[in-house]
């Protein structure tokens, strides 16, 4: 049986390992943008910032006392002269161990992130997905997310 809970500092090594699975995919496609996987000190410090912070949270999925997935979420306030002011949640990362993908774990983690954001005043949810990551985009679209903009870049 799979259970879901807020992450703790003790989960950082598992979160780093799962984050590296995602990072390897990204690094393979865009090595000039994404760092190579496996820099423990860098990764642990990064993920620790999102655990128990007032405007951020990380949730994990567990099976047989093993972390098999996680999602990170943060709160933001939209402002500026051209945008409607609103509080929104932003999913930072979603990762599920390869052997557990396609079984609803990612959807369940995203639902927890959305519930957390709504409890913290969000009226909108957002995330960023790289165009090559078609599997993730399909998951997000199944959850009701739609493309709202295109983020472009080019090397100089």
Asked if the structure places residue 155 within a domain, the reply is: no
The chain-wide mean pLDDT, for the chain, equals 93
Tell me whether residue 147 is in a domain: no
Phi/psi zone of residue 65: left (φ > 0), alpha (ψ -120 to 50 degrees), beta? left
Within-domain flag for 36 = yes
> What's the pLDDT score for residue 50?
84
Cα(133)–Cα(139) distance, rounded to whole angstroms? Answer: 10
In a domain, 94, yes or no: yes
118 falls within a domain: yes
| Domain of residue 70, residue span | 2-142
Residue 52 has pLDDT above 90, yes or no: no
Rg (CA), the chain: 16
148 found inside a domain: no
What are the residues whose beta carbons fall under 8 Å from the beta carbon of 138, sequence distance 6 or more?
Answer: none
Say which CATH number the domain at 114 has.
3.40.630.30
The mean pLDDT value for 67-96 works out to 95
Q: Mean per-residue pLDDT for 142-149?
A: 95
Q: How many domains does the chain have?
A: 1
pTM over 0.75: yes
Instruction: Answer yes or no: is 68 within a domain.
Output: yes
């Amino acid at each position: 049986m799979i259970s879901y809970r807020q992450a703790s500092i003790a989960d950082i090594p598992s979160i780093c390992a799962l984050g590296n699975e995602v990072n390897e995919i990204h690094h393979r496609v865009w090595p000039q943008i994404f760092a190579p996987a496996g820099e423990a000190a860098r990764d642990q410090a990064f993920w620790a910032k999102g655990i128990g912070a007032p405007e951020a949270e990380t949730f994990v999925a567990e099976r047989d006392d093993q972390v098999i997935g996680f999602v990170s979420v943060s709160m933001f306030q939209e402002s500026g002269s051209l945008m409607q002011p609103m509080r929104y949640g932003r999913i930072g990362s979603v990762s599920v161990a390869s052997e557990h993908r396609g079984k609803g774990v990612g959807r369940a983690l995203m639902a927890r992130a959305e519930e957390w954001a709504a409890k913290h005043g969000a009226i909108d949810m957002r995330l960023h997905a790289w165009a090559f990551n078609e599997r993730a985009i399909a998951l997000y679209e199944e959850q009701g997310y739609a493309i709202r903009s295109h983020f472009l870049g080019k090397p100089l």
